[in-house]
Amino acid sequence: MNYNHKEIEKKWQKYWDEHQTFKVDIDPSKPKYYILDMFPYPSGAGLHVGHPLGYIASDILSRYMRLKGYNVLHPMGYDAFGLPAEQYAIEHGVHPAVSTEKNINNYRRQLKLIGLSYDWSREFRTSDPKYYKWTQWAFLQMFKHWFNNKTQKAEPIETLIKEFEKNGNLQVDAACNPETPKFTAEEWKSFDERRKQEILMNYRIAYRSKATVNWCPELGTVLANDEVKDGLSIRGGYPVYQVDLDQWFLRTTAYAERLLKGLDEIDWPENVKQIQRNWIGRSEGAEVYFPVAGSEKQILIFTTRPDTIYGATFMVLAPEHEMVLEITTDDHRKEVEEYIDYVKRRSERERIAEVKNVTGVFTGAYAINPFTGHRIPIWIAEYVLKHYGTGAIMAVPAHDSRDYAFARKFGLPIIQVIEGADITAESYDDKHGKMINSGIINGLDVQEAIPKIIDEIEKRGLGKRKVNYRMRDAIFSRQRYWGEPFPIYYKDGIPYPLDESELPLELPDMDDFRPTKEGKPPLAKLETWKTKEGYPLETSTMPGFAGSSAYYIRFMDPHNDNALVSPEAIQYWRDVDFYIGGVEHAVGHLIYSRFWNKFLKDIGAVIEEEPFKKLVNQGMIQGRSNFVYRIKGTNTFVSKNVKDKYDTIKINVNVNIVNPQDDTLDIEQFMKSEVYRMIDDKSKVSEVKFILEKEVEKDGKIEYQETTLDDPQGKYVCGWEIEKMSKSKYNVVNPDDIIERYGADTFRLYEMFLGPITQSKPWNTQGIEGMHKFVKRFWSLYHDDNGNFVVVDEQPTEEELKILHKTLKKVSDDIQRLSFNTAISAFSTAVNQFMSLKTRKRAILEPLIIAFSPFAPHMAEEIWTKLGHEPSITYAQFPQIDEKYLKEDTVEYPVAFNGKKRFTIEVPVDYGEAEVKDLVLKHEKTSKYVEGKKIIKFIFVPKRMINIVVK
């Protein structure tokens, strides 16, 4: 019998399961290597062929590293809490725990079918109380710590209390709420419990605060900024509004500097680093106080262009700025209040849609420009954001395009302070040029003016140097059911932490998990949601990213009930060496994880500053969609090449009823399954008509003619396009089907062969045939036509050894640089060569199968045992590469004349320039190109090429 993938793959998957082949433990005698896939959110749809791309790549690397003697930690688990399961539950009445369980079982089945070498003993899901105990624990630690800016580290809140008792907060430099009042030790001691807790809350790393948040009424929850796009929720696409609510936050901004610096030390794709830098949004500048005319009040602004302060001709505050109503004069109050109201009602989406239409109103108040002494009007406008900087700006219309547009619209003065710019039609925003009209900095270049003016600002006590970040603290609560409960209870409305001994605080079972009509979380409906003393517990739950923030740590020691991770485990495994996943997590998960890890490092729970040393983003596998064309207003479908004279609409048709070779539609299947979805008047299914096409040759050219169903030459040809693979486009290819037909080994190889791992590329089911052929050819190196094992113990030839060692070298290099497609090419070349040499020798074929085993592990195991070894090939040793066989005796040099290659010449490898030159000049073909010409230069690049310049 010949190669039977079904039998072999089943056999070895069972063996791996029963023997726990990939189970790892701490082993100080071996170097560790931690390879992690971004764990999946198990959706009901299961895996399509695009999902395993990254898993297969990391699996090949894992298996390769094992062969190289590393102790490889390669785990898998499930990110199981979150909105989709709950949304599904609400719509279908299935409890999220039930649907999650079902989906996980399906995912596990599919993953095992691919032959992925996970240590399944470490599997967990984030919705398991044993797991989320440690998510809650980490939250409690964040609640009990503050961030000391001086040490750039989290410290226990007790140290802060001690300092308050000693010196108040006058000498404290902490990441805290900017509105925290200053107080002395005496004042601190005089505060009551409520006041003390309120103040401490301003310092905690996990804290509760009223804040303007993205409220999505349709989902009944608050969303993080990265869960909102263009004013709509990413999940569901529902409108999102800005409202003030009490929320839990993580003080991620405290770590802004460390998050930024850390990026320089890690091996991540440059674009992901760039996205994170952008998101952190560091900018240097100054904070400056502008006094309000005729008042004691001052307005603090942030600017990155203090050099242009002499050109500041007005000020603008965010409409939500707390001083707006204080400074507004009575004759402008009505307008101002109306404007604030107008801004509040607008969703972010509307604001974005109207970027070019500048709006704003005058408050009636004036400020004094501290450098020019001029009275400048104070306006409010929605283009100034409450959350960035201080929520107030000095407007320099000559050198800022937004201020310029505003000044032009409202007729405000424009003063140029940088020489040479033409500001008649637009502002000059560049940071180059000489300062003019600028008092003490006149004549300086912008770059010199900035530090000088900041020095002056500081000297005069007007403000100070300031680094500002665009990043905001992460909102950490969701008004939903299916998430981790907070280990927090309320006494007199003040939040207190549960004792660690009470963890995990388990999510109670509920039947109706819809949010209440008033927008209260589902848990608020539970009478029993209280501590044993009867204090009410926090009713919101943690967001989706909570459970995924430290899961990589938990995999190091997944069943430890006494600690997140044991000291021995973290000491040994330390961090993730290789992390692979989609680029869509560039800011969400990957920022939160880095933050979480840094915090855990500060409290001594982990060792490394950065959690993921190397990151790779696999590309997307796109689908090939097919379309049918329906003539508008009818139930008639017209074939692609004859559709142009009709007014048609194209509709995605299920790719499984279209022949991938020529895109012809299976009309019978179509009538059975698809038609109903596509026609307008469902009662007229019986009237569905088709206009087919047939090819006709006319004057030597092929033309398409319309024809009907009863014409045997007639066919319905579908249109096609490369699109994202998704259920709604009916272009999903299921890995189960592919594996059933071709086997997991072929599937793995084909996914890798499609192209570079980081690149997106279309799935093409046609091509897999070629890969299947290759796998069978590989198998046939070891077997005859009747399936007999035919490997023999004979001495290999020099030629065979050369092919083997070159292949080993190439494959080894390619795996290390993640170039799996070229590694497979190398195997293909080698197999072709061994086939024609009829190589049957153990000394060649045994090393070859070891090297191939990361790619096609099932076949490799089978051959390995036939070669007489004990299973499993997993812990075999990667063959030694012998340099001796990589060297050639001769080099084939291309010989070019004036840069054009004319012929090649075979030269012994040890020939020097003089000998090669001699050979080339004597060569019969050379005369043709040098005849009647002069040789100007002879260029010889050893082992590369020869170029002769003639004239």
Nearest to 733 by CA among 47, 9, 40, 6: 47
What is the enclosing helix (H) or strand (E) of 349? helix 348-353
**Least gap, CB of 907 to RNA (angstroms):** 11
**Least gap, CB of 394 to RNA (angstroms):** 7
Nearer to RNA, 384 or 738 (CB): 384
Nearer to RNA, 437 or 825 (CB): 825
Note whether 359 and 316 are within 8 A (CB).
Answer: no
Nearer to RNA, 636 or 822 (CB): 822
Nearer to RNA, 20 or 832 (CB): 832
**Least gap, CB of 306 to RNA (angstroms):** 8
Note whether 290 and 304 are within 8 A (CB).
Answer: no
**Tokens read off for 641:** 């090449």
Nearest to 34 by CA among 574, 633, 807: 574
To the nearest 10°, report the CA torsion of 697, 699, 701, 702. -20
Nearer to RNA, 385 or 678 (CB): 385
**Cα first-last separation, the chain:** 67
**Least gap, CB of 144 to RNA (angstroms):** 31
Nearer to RNA, 209 or 821 (CB): 821
Nearer to RNA, 238 or 383 (CB): 383
Block residue for tokens 């605080």:
505
Instruction: Give the three-state DSSP class for 789.
Output: strand
Which spans in 697-783 are helix H?
735-742, 744-753, 768-782
Nearer to RNA, 388 or 496 (CB): 388
CA contacts within 13 A on the Cβ side of 219: 29
Give the Cβ contact number of residue 788 at 10 Å.
9
DSSP assigned state of 26? -
Block residue for tokens 């409520």:
194
Measured between alpha carbons, how far is 456 from 169 in angstroms, rounded to an integer?
28
Nearest to 118 by CA among 74, 52, 54, 66: 74
**Tokens read off for 891:** 């080099």
**Least gap, CB of 560 to RNA (angstroms):** 37
Block residue for tokens 């799996």:
820
**207 φ/ψ angles, rounded to the nearest 5 degrees:** -140, 165
Nearer to RNA, 92 or 951 (CB): 951
**Least gap, CB of 76 to RNA (angstroms):** 27
**Least gap, CB of 205 to RNA (angstroms):** 22
Nearer to RNA, 408 or 902 (CB): 902
**Least gap, CB of 471 to RNA (angstroms):** 9
Nearest to 566 by CA among 578, 576, 555: 555
**Least gap, CB of 916 to RNA (angstroms):** 14
Instruction: Give the three-state DSSP class for 771.
Output: helix
Measured between alpha carbons, how far is 843 from 801 in angstroms, rounded to an integer?
9
Alpha carbon of 894 to those of 931, 942, 947: distances in Å? Answer: 20, 11, 8
**Least gap, CB of 35 to RNA (angstroms):** 21
Nearer to RNA, 172 or 392 (CB): 392
**Least gap, CB of 455 to RNA (angstroms):** 18
**Least gap, CB of 2 to RNA (angstroms):** 10
Nearer to RNA, 91 or 422 (CB): 422
SS (H, E, C) 41-106: CCCCCCCCCCCHHHHHHHHHHHHHHHHCCCEEECCCCECCCCHHHHHHHHHHCCCHHHHHHHHHHH
Nearer to RNA, 117 or 303 (CB): 303
Nearer to RNA, 762 or 871 (CB): 762
**Least gap, CB of 902 to RNA (angstroms):** 5
Nearer to RNA, 566 or 764 (CB): 764
**Least gap, CB of 518 to RNA (angstroms):** 30
**Least gap, CB of 316 to RNA (angstroms):** 8
Nearer to RNA, 18 or 179 (CB): 179
**Least gap, CB of 461 to RNA (angstroms):** 20
DSSP assigned state of 878? P
Instruction: Give the three-state DSSP class for 477.
Output: coil
Where does residue 18 rank: exposed (0-12), middle (13-18), buried (19+ CB within 10 A)?
Answer: exposed
Query: Hey, which bits of 439-493 come out as E strands?
Result: 463-469, 474-475, 488-491
Nearer to RNA, 630 or 783 (CB): 783
Nearest to 123 by CA among 135, 141, 105: 105
Q: Which residue type is seen at 834?
A: F
Nearer to RNA, 206 or 749 (CB): 749
**C-alpha 80 chain-centroid distance:** 18
Q: Which residue type is seen at 79?
A: D
Measured between alpha carbons, how far is 161 from 172 in angstroms, rounded to an integer?
11
Note whether 915 and 888 are within 8 A (CB).
Answer: no
**947 φ/ψ angles, rounded to the nearest 5 degrees:** -135, 130
Note whether 618 and 580 are within 8 A (CB).
Answer: yes
Nearest to 845 by CA among 782, 780, 776: 782
Measured between alpha carbons, how far is 304 from 289 in angstroms, rounded to an integer?
14
Cis preceding linkage at 540, omega within 30: no
**Least gap, CB of 901 to RNA (angstroms):** 5
What is the enclosing helix (H) or strand (E) of 208? strand 206-216
**Least gap, CB of 793 to RNA (angstroms):** 26
